[in-house]
Amino acid sequence: MFYLLLTLFGCMTGITAVLFGFGGGFVVVPLLYRMLMASHGADDPIGQSAMHIAVATSTCVMIVNALLATGKHHRAGSLIRHYLWPLGGYIGLGAIVGAVAAMWAEGEVIRYAFIVYLGITILDCLFRRGFLTHSGNEVPRRLGKVAVSGVGIGAIATFLGVGGSVMTVPLLRRCGLSMSQATSMANPLSLPVALSGVMQGATLVLNEGEQPYGDEKPLPQIHLNIESGKAWGEWSNDQGKTLKIELTEAELPAISAGTLPYLAKLYDAEPYEYLRLQGMKLKQGKTQTLEGYSLQWWSEPQTKTAFFEIVSGYTPDVRDRINKLLLGRLWEEVVQYYGCFSAGGGAYYVQTVKPLLITPKVISVSVGTEAYCGGAHPDYSDAYINIDAQNGKPVTLEDVLWVGQGKPLHYEERNSEQSAEIYAAYSEYRNNEFAPWLVAQLRQLYPEEMQPVPDDNCTYGEQDHWDYPTWYFAKNGIKFGPSFSHADAPCAFVDWSVLPYSVIKQNPGGVAVQLP
């Protein structure tokens, strides 16, 4: 019903704006105020800001209405330039004054001022000569005291979110313009009000995090007043605690030459995440020896995210590429941690890293995550980093194993910049060629495990579970992990689904990886 009413009244304001030059603010402001109060109540932060929200929304609606109507009247040749300027400029100046006043005024003050203004406007149109009655022989005259009129119209209209048409139409009527001429001029004269109100008087209401699944407890909120280059306001929670906030536009520091590739990518693509990581330092942890290679562990103290780098073996260039990849993943996990905690109360993010295989030819690392980031249930996942140790570059499964026709595909599941065409070809290959082939191989190698078991949802013989398996290099072959829904997640943890390297080598992929 909420959205139906908005749609109906939105259509009505659009019609009245084009036909009569006004109607938006007088309809939108009281409608939104009543709907917000009814849905949130007087004690809710949104209810307390209902009048400010209604006024700000009305000015946004005015932009669309006024632009469309102005375009229509311009094409019809109905606009008279000397009535638009300088009156429009003075209205814009007044609009800035009104927007600043509205930011500091209480909602109740704006509400009562709106009621008084509505009553005065109706009485003025009914009893003051020149609006309802007009002589057809009257010659239009120029505006007098344009500065006073314009600033007053702009200030009042923006303060109340009514656009100014209900003042400009009577004003132009009393200058001798016909009703059609006056309403045609009202829309372009409303644009300075709408634009100034939106740019100078916007109030942004932000919830802190997302509402946890099944929880209706009010979230803390931030109310921000927006101006060019800065914002200020207040943080508040349902216990009545408040904090003053003042924000200025952040400036990205120059990126250094030795920055990790992952952080350099953040700098360009997600500067907010890059800035959030500034000043965070890694803490040196334990050392470990695995298969003759020395590992140095590092952790980020706030998130307790940890990863390792390899400090012996390989050539310096290859080792540097490997470590940039591993430490980049550490910072990526830090970003994921903070993204998870934006869900609000109850969130947690626990990461476990384990080096699985380190050889002169290939490297595999497990990244296990147990997290609750909102929603109906926690998530458990295992991801793997697979590296060609000959050059220090990551490899995909198709780089190592290819059972399709033609040239092997190269699709990186974690790379969002790849084209839709590549993904479509990749999906078709996985569904129609790879999964049937893999199931056939596993049936031959592990006939008992692949057989269905009564009253058991772990149906390993179905191809859907092997379209997009996890995988990593093991000592005796590639270990695949099936995928299941959350309800059947335990089925994914199996230790038998290894495809021997002898089979892999018969179906080489697109990169000449030297397998163990």
Distances (CA, A) of 145 to 142, 153, 179: 10, 12, 22
pLDDT, position 415: 79
Lowest mean pLDDT among 168-182, 297-311, 318-332: 168-182
In this structure, are 406 and 385 located in the same domain? no
Please tell me the distance from the alpha carbon of residue 106 to that of residue 124, in angstroms, as a whole number: 27
Check residue 304 and give left, alpha or beta (phi > 0: left; psi -120 to 50: alpha).
left
Q: Is residue 209 situated within a structural domain?
A: yes
Q: Max Cα separation, the chain? A: 103
In this structure, are 170 and 55 located in the same domain? yes
In this structure, are 76 and 1 located in the same domain? yes
Expressed as residue numbers, the domain containing 450 is 396-515
Pick from 354, 378, 394: which residue ends a domain?
394
Please tell me the distance from the alpha carbon of residue 472 to that of residue 474, in angstroms, as a whole number: 6
Please tell me the distance from the alpha carbon of residue 304 to that of residue 370, in angstroms, as a whole number: 13
Question: Would you say 36 and 47 are in contact if contact means Cβ atoms under 8 Å apart?
Answer: yes
> pLDDT tens, 138-185?
445 555 555 566 677 767 766 666 655 666 666 666 666 666 666 666
Q: Is residue 263 situated within a structural domain?
A: no
Please tell me the distance from the alpha carbon of residue 263 to that of residue 343, in angstroms, as a whole number: 24
Better pLDDT: 10 or 346:
346
Q: Is residue 7 situated within a structural domain?
A: yes
Q: Is residue 267 situated within a structural domain?
A: no
In this structure, are 233 and 294 located in the same domain? no
Q: Is residue 348 situated within a structural domain?
A: yes
Which residues contact residue 355 at a Cβ distance below 8 angstroms, ignoring those fewer than 6 apart? Answer: 288, 290, 295, 308, 363, 364, 365, 366
pLDDT, position 480: 97
Please tell me the distance from the alpha carbon of residue 491 to that of residue 486, in angstroms, as a whole number: 10
The model carries a pTM of 0.61
Please tell me whether the peptide bond between 86 and the residue prior to it is cis, using omega within 30 degrees of 0.
yes
Residue 444 has pLDDT above 90, yes or no: yes
Number of domains into which the chain is organized: 4
> pLDDT tens, 27-59?
666 667 777 777 766 666 566 666 667 666 666
Residue 472 has pLDDT above 90, yes or no: yes
Q: Is residue 62 situated within a structural domain?
A: yes
* Partners of 388 in the β-ladder: 362, 393
Q: Is residue 57 situated within a structural domain?
A: yes
In this structure, are 389 and 365 located in the same domain? yes
In this structure, are 67 and 170 located in the same domain? yes
Please tell me the distance from the alpha carbon of residue 89 to that of residue 98, in angstroms, as a whole number: 14
Question: Would you say 461 and 450 are in contact if contact means Cβ atoms under 8 Å apart?
Answer: yes
Please tell me the distance from the alpha carbon of residue 70 to that of residue 188, in angstroms, as a whole number: 6
Pick from 394, 422, 439: which residue ends a domain?
394
In this structure, are 410 and 352 located in the same domain? no
Q: Which 3 state secondary structure label does DSSP give 294?
A: strand
| Lookup result for tokens 């500034």 | 278
